[in-house]
Amino acid sequence: NDTRRYLSDIMHKVFLLYKEGKIKPVVDSVFTFEDVNSALGKLVERKNIGKVVIEPFVNAKAEKVKKVKAGGASGHQDSSSTSGPDDDDEKDPEEVRQSSSSNQ
């Protein structure tokens, strides 16, 4: 229980820093679920600088495939062509923290 509370406090602090704009996750690249092996290869070979995101949703994949084909890449997007995984999430980090606290 102490560990859970400690981790909750740390995550709360991290979310506050994110909300205040003091920290910003860097997305190196976004892969479709079908290209998970390429994503893992990039991680294993340490060729990423930032997060490597695997997009599991079919609708998102279809949009990304259109963008990738238009851009001439094959299977993934670099950070210049995506704004990051958190942009679709409209939840306030404080609300997420409060709802997870009430579930404990």
DSSP assignments along 63-99, one per residue: HHHHHHHHHT-SSEEEGGG---GGGG----HHHHHHH
Looking at residue 14, its pLDDT comes to 95
pTM: 0.45
Report yes or no: 78 and 42 within 8 Å, Cβ to Cβ.
Answer: no
Tens of pLDDT along the chain (104 residues) come to: 899 999 999 999 999 999 999 999 999 999 999 999 999 999 999 999 999 999 987 555 455 555 555 554 445 555 444 444 444 444 554 554 555 555 55
Looking at residue 40, its pLDDT comes to 96
